[in-house]
Amino acid sequence: MALVKLALRNLARNKRRTAITFVALVAGVGAMVAIKGFMNGQRRQILENQQRGNLGALQVHRKGYVANVLASPLTLDFADSPALRATLAAVPAVVAVSPRIEFGAQLSTPDRRPPPDDGSDLPEADRGQSSFLLFTAIDPATERVVTPKRWEWVSWARGQMPRAASDAQVVLNDDFAKGIAVPLWAAGEAVPPIEQQLAVLAPDRDGSLNGVNVVMAGTLASATPNDRRVGLMPLATAQALLRMEGRVTEYGLAVAEGADLAEVKRLVEAAVGADFEVHTWEERLPFVRDIVDTQDFVFGIVSGIFLFVVLLGVVNAMLMSVLERVREIGTMLAVGMRRRQVVQLFIAEGVVLGLVGGALGALVGFAWVSWMNARGLSIPAPGAKVPSLLRPSVDAAFLARATLQATAGAALASLWPAWRASRLRPVEALAHT
């Protein structure tokens, strides 16, 4: 304790130098906390968009569906029965159940002109184009409760969502649709003749080719990574295309705000039995894990450099302090102070510097993060074009870790100056001017 008191007194002797070192530490740790808070907010934003825009809080599939090597096997389907929906809806905290089918299909745009009469080729620019897309078939009535963000994304782009499950319409990504110049059908207008409509071709549940003529009713603004080659189709239209009347491959579930998702998942699993599997939205998103891993790696490097630069300042300050106090150290050694105690004294100064500066920095960072969290930053999620509110956040564990890192770093940074001080020869040190 005496050591700490002594360290504090020594730090107070040169207030300006100590203040400068403090500022560096506070700024460094504060910035680390702020960046971390921002990154956490970004991750939350991606996940929120996925939950409320793509997946729903929980997903129910036939057992083995998610692990299947094929991205979306139609054979692992199930009957969309009112009884099953009722069973799911009866689980506490389940707000809505929405039937879906995920399927791969080829979307073809029409040729821009009829074929020449002489049988020759249309010029390349006039030919229709085909693209492979991953479609999600949805029932607009139930889906609007489970993934309301889709409607928001359409409002940021063009057109509108289909109204009925049997509409012969699709909704595509806005960038994608512009890229291959898909014509937009404006609601209320006459539907174009079939040779000017879009064709969606897909293997049905038995693998035989089938197709449907559709128009593009609206487009989705990009809001989540990897969403350029996806489309939406009303459920009954897709069921006819895939020859899967009354059958679906997935239920998306909306869960009450604030409910414990893991607990609701357990209850849903118990309700549907062993033939089905249940996943939370986070479990379905391996790529979010990748984004987080990459961010953590970059953050590790950046914060490492921050800390290093700040600690160089600590080394410098401590070294100055040693050089200034050569005669004093000589005196201490002359009156019988151990070299070990000299080392301890200087390290104690470093620890106090790091602890106070780090804690202060963490507090400043936390204050900024809390303020921004309450206010919200209106910027797009990574890879998105639609602004949404980013709310930075950090947890107490990170604040503690940042403070601890600063303290340990400062202690480490004082090692060399402290060692130099302890190596002084009392006779020479006393004669030092």
Partner 1 sequence: MKALLLTFTLLPTLALGADPTADEILAKYDAVMGPSTFESQAEMTATREDGSTRTYAMRFLKRDADKFRVWFAEPASVKGQEVLRLGDNAWVYLPNLKRATRIANRDSFQGGDFNNADVLRVNYRADYDAKLVDSPVPDTWALKLKAKTPETAYDAITLIVRKRDLQPVRGEYYGTSGQLIRSATFSDWRELDKGFVRPARVVMQNEVVKARKTEMVTRTFKVNVDAPPQRFMQADLGK
Shortest spacing between CB 59 and partner 1, in angstroms: 21
Shortest spacing between CB 67 and partner 1, in angstroms: 13
Judged by CB under 8 A, the residue of 79, 83, 119, 275 near partner 1 is 119
> What crossing angle do the helices spanning 396-422 and 15-50 adopt, rounded to 10°?
150
Q: Does 70 bind partner 1 (CB under 8 A)?
A: yes
Instruction: Tell me the Cα Rg of the chain.
Output: 32
Shortest spacing between CB 104 and partner 1, in angstroms: 10
Shortest spacing between CB 267 and partner 1, in angstroms: 30
Shortest spacing between CB 233 and partner 1, in angstroms: 15
Q: Does 183 bind partner 1 (CB under 8 A)?
A: no
Q: Does 426 bind partner 1 (CB under 8 A)?
A: no
Q: Which two tokens stand for residue 130?
A: 């085909």
Taking the least distance from each CB to partner 1, the nearer of 111 and 175 is 111
**Stretch of residues binding partner 1 (CB under 8 A), selected from 87-95, 191-199, 258-266, 358-366:** 191-199
Q: CA-to-CA distance for 57 and 51, rounded, in angstroms?
A: 5
Instruction: Tell me the torsion sign for CA atoms 301, 303, 305, 308.
Output: negative
Taking the least distance from each CB to partner 1, the nearer of 211 and 426 is 211
Shortest spacing between CB 110 and partner 1, in angstroms: 9
Q: Does 194 bind partner 1 (CB under 8 A)?
A: yes
CA geometry: angle 429, 430, 433, nearest 5 deg: 80
Q: CA-to-CA distance for 208 and 203, rounded, in angstroms?
A: 5
Q: Which two tokens stand for residue 399?
A: 């604040």
Q: Does 125 bind partner 1 (CB under 8 A)?
A: no
Q: CA-to-CA distance for 409 and 235, rounded, in angstroms?
A: 59
**Stretch of residues binding partner 1 (CB under 8 A), selected from 205-213, 322-330, 375-383, 424-432:** 205-213
DSSP character string of 347-377: HHHHHHHHHHHHHHHHHHHHHHHHHHHHH-E
Q: Assign 186 to helix, strand or coil.
A: coil
Q: Which two tokens stand for residue 5?
A: 């008191």
Neighbouring residues of 72: CB distance < 8 A, sequence distance ≥ 6:
102, 103, 104, 134, 249
Q: CA-to-CA distance for 221 and 386, rounded, in angstroms?
A: 6
Give the count of beta carbons closer than 10 Å to the beta carbon of residue 60. 25
Q: Does 195 bind partner 1 (CB under 8 A)?
A: yes
Size of the site for partner 1 (CB under 8 A): 29
Q: Does 201 bind partner 1 (CB under 8 A)?
A: yes
Judged by CB under 8 A, the residue of 12, 82, 181, 208 near partner 1 is 208
Shortest spacing between CB 132 and partner 1, in angstroms: 8
**Stretch of residues binding partner 1 (CB under 8 A), selected from 2-10, 204-212, 371-379, 384-392:** 204-212
Judged by CB under 8 A, the residue of 87, 160, 210, 405 near partner 1 is 210
Instruction: Give, as one character, the DSSP assignment of residue 71.
Output: S
Q: Does 380 bind partner 1 (CB under 8 A)?
A: no
Torsion-angle region of 338 (φ positive above 0: left; ψ -120 to 50: alpha; else: beta):
beta
Judged by CB under 8 A, the residue of 133, 212, 264, 369 near partner 1 is 212
Q: Which of residues 236-295 bind partner 1 (CB under 8 A)?
A: 243
Q: Does 75 bind partner 1 (CB under 8 A)?
A: yes
Shortest spacing between CB 240 and partner 1, in angstroms: 9
**Stretch of residues binding partner 1 (CB under 8 A), selected from 15-23, 24-32, 119-127, 263-271:** 119-127
Task: Tell me how far CA of residue 100 lies from CA of 62, 160, 355, in angstroms.
Answer: 13, 19, 55
Judged by CB under 8 A, the residue of 121, 245, 257, 275 near partner 1 is 121
Shortest spacing between CB 226 and partner 1, in angstroms: 19
Place of tokens 């689980």: 91
Per-residue 3-state assignment (H helix, E strand, C coil) for 226-247: CCCCEEEEEHHHHHHHCCCCCE
Cα 8 to chain centroid, rounded: 43
Judged by CB under 8 A, the residue of 81, 113, 123, 206 near partner 1 is 206
Shortest spacing between CB 203 and partner 1, in angstroms: 4
| 153 touches 386 (CB < 8 A) | yes
Burial class of 69 by CB neighbour count within 10 A (0 to 12, 13 to 18, 19+): exposed
Kind and range of the H or E run holding 294: helix 286-324
Shortest spacing between CB 119 and partner 1, in angstroms: 6
> Which residues sit at the interface with partner 1, rule CB under 8 A?
69-70, 73, 75, 106, 108, 111, 115, 119, 121, 127-130, 194-195, 199, 201, 203-204, 206-213, 243
